[in-house]
Amino acid sequence: MGVKLVQFNVINYPKRRVIGKGVTLVEGGMTLEDRTIENLWESMEKDGSLGLLTHMPGQAGTEGDTVGWMGDFHPPDMHFTYLAGVIFEAGTPAPEGFIYRDIEAGEMAVSWLQDTADVEGGGIHTDGSAYNNRAMQEHGYEYDGSRGLFEMEYQPFERYQAPLKRGELPALDFYSPCKKKEAAN
């Protein structure tokens, strides 16, 4: 599978809240055979928790859109949280049994990534961060960890879930907090 950068933008992102269920993973410790993230999404689909979230009031996206939030990075041991869920307006209460993470307002680099049939080029999930980081650099931006160490895959229903259900290649938006690069002296 390959990946193509369809579009890159820097937007002013408002304060939001991600609500979902999470797992703790180790950066660099996962293999292609590791199904921890897929199993999380499948269990949420099966137990109805994903349906509950996608129909809850206060969503900041279109009904059916989902997110994979990666944050709470702990650099010494490279642990991080993967939160499968939905994006909501700031302050939306999380239902019992769910966790949340708040996203502070600020500039956000957004790459629209499309899976392709190419053999070379990685995948939208495994290489989204690298593609977004490269696009940021090319446009004079850099990662901004001052708002928390996180990144997020936004999976719009019409470009991600619907194509998957039809057996077609999906697309998603990869979000990273960013700031304009400071000029070198």
Residue 93, domain CATH: 3.20.80.10
Examine residue 185 and state whether it is found in any structural domain, yes or no. no
Q: Other CB atoms closer than 10 Å to residue 67's CB: what's the count?
A: 25
pLDDT of residue 122: 73
What is the pTM assigned to this prediction? 0.89
pLDDT of residue 70: 92
Spatial separation of the C-alpha atoms in residues 21 and 180, rounded to whole Å = 33
pLDDT of residue 32: 61
pLDDT of residue 119: 67
Examine residue 20 and state whether it is found in any structural domain, yes or no. yes
Examine residue 62 and state whether it is found in any structural domain, yes or no. yes
Instruction: Write out the chain's pLDDT in tens, 185 residues.
Output: 677 888 999 999 999 999 999 998 877 666 567 788 899 999 999 999 999 999 999 999 888 899 999 998 877 777 889 999 999 999 999 999 999 999 999 999 998 888 887 766 677 777 888 888 999 999 999 999 998 889 999 998 898 888 888 998 888 899 999 999 987 65
pLDDT of residue 118: 76
Kind of pairing, strands 99-103 and 16-26? Answer: antiparallel
Domain that holds residue 113: 2-180
Spatial separation of the C-alpha atoms in residues 156 and 176, rounded to whole Å = 17
> Quick one: which H or E segment has residue 23?
strand 16-26
Examine residue 68 and state whether it is found in any structural domain, yes or no. yes
pLDDT of residue 29: 66
Indicate the number of domains in the chain. Answer: 1
Give the N- to C-terminal CA distance of the chain in Å, as an integer: 42
Spatial separation of the C-alpha atoms in residues 157 and 108, rounded to whole Å = 21
pLDDT of residue 185: 58
pLDDT of residue 121: 66
